[in-house]
Amino acid sequence: MDSDKALAVYVDFENVALGLKDLPGPDFDVELVIERLLEKGRILVKNAYCDWHRYQDSRRPLHEAGFVLVEIPHARWSGKNSADIRMVVDALDLCNTRPHIDTFALITGDSDFTPLVGKLREYGKRVIGIGVRNSSSKLLIESCDDFWYYDELAKGKAEDEPAPDKSEKPDGKPSRNRMFKRLAGTAHSMIDDRGEAVWASHVKQVFKRKQPNFSEGYFGYAGFSELLEDGASRGFLEIEKDKASGGYRILSARTRGR
């Protein structure tokens, strides 16, 4: 299954930061990218490359997201391609020493990484590129198995961002509606990727990967099937029961419900 893959994520941070510099909106949101990648599989390696003395404010969110921050001296001291070279060396080393890593996500728009993409694919690895639309090389885009525009991910998140939930519990616990909005967002993305309905058990697996503390019992449901049925009654999910297995498939999902 596509979402059972083992991933390694490499961030050419300065390339992304410069690409976003002239665009409206917040700075680079690493959690947005990680959440999308978790739909593809388990992330086992996270490295981010930059002269971090120049981006002090960006260190904390990356560190909190579990990234190893690899220090790259500024180009004035080490040459323009220092981050490129270090990323290439680390990625190829991982490719050869960790054969179970089958998908590489390269967060950059720099055409200098095109040969790396070609070599990784030559070794049978799947490569996902992620970059800012106006600063991503066409050569790099066309060399990847899949390429996502960061600005489109951010736009999609803003459009799907739930309005303040008046049913939010006063004790700080998230409401059922907010949970369904997040679950429906995951299901919608998976259905969109595959172009077909997905098994509810598979959606739960991916959702748990995003939110390890998720439990249907926490929200008062006896099981996941009961949760799905309630989600359907609220308009978040369209489900279908498989007669042979008794399990549910999710046919469509909406983040706003009824």
Beta strands 237-241 and 248-253 are antiparallel
| Residue 80 reports pLDDT greater than 80 | no
Whole-number percent of the chain with pLDDT over 90: 65
What is the widest separation between alpha-carbon atoms in the chain?
A: 66
The arithmetic mean of pLDDT across residues 124-142, rounded, is 95
Does pLDDT of 132 surpass 70?
A: yes
| Model pLDDT, residue 193 | 84
Percentage of the chain lying above the pLDDT 70 cut: 86
Instruction: Please give the Cα distance from 249 to 208 (Å, whole number).
Output: 17
**Global pTM value:** 0.78
- Residues 6 or more apart in contact with residue 155 via CB below 8 angstroms: none
User: Which pLDDT tens digit goes with each residue over 11-70?
Assistant: 999 999 888 887 666 678 999 999 999 999 999 999 999 999 889 989 999 999 999 999
Q: Enter the CATH code of domain 164-253.
A: 3.30.420
Architecture of the domain delimited by 2-158? 3-Layer(aba) Sandwich (3.40)
CATH 3.40.50.1010 domain position(s) in the chain: 2-158
**CA 14 distance to own-chain centroid:** 19
- Side chain identity, residue 152: E
pLDDT per residue over 212-229, tens digit each?
889 999 999 999 999 999
What pLDDT, on a 0 to 100 scale, did the predictor assign at position 70?
A: 94
* Residue ranges, CATH 3.30.420, the chain: 164-253
pLDDT at 253 over 70: yes
Average pLDDT, the chain: 87
Give mean pLDDT, residues 97-112. Answer: 96
CA angle 57, 44, 146 (to 5 degrees): 85
What the block records as the tokens of 227 is 């949760």
Whether the predicted pLDDT of 74 surpasses 80: no
Per-residue DSSP letters for the chain?
-GGGEEEEEEEEHHHHHHHHTTSSS-S--HHHHHHHHTTTEEEEEEEEEE-GGG-HHHHHHHHHTT-EEEE---HHHH-TTHHHHHHHHHHHHHHHH-TT--EEEEE---GGGHHHHHHHHHTT-EEEEEE-GGGS-HHHHHHSSEEEEHHHHHHHHHHHPPPP-TT--TTSPPPHHHHHHHHHHHHHHHHHHHTS-EEHHHHHHHHHHH-TT--GGGGT-SSHHHHHHHHHHTTSEEEEE-TTT--EEEEEE-SS--
Q: Give the separation between CA 170 and CA 254, rounded to whole angstroms.
A: 26
Tell me the HSE value of 112 on the side-chain side, using a 13 A CA sphere: 13
What is residue 24's predicted lDDT score, i.e. its pLDDT? 63
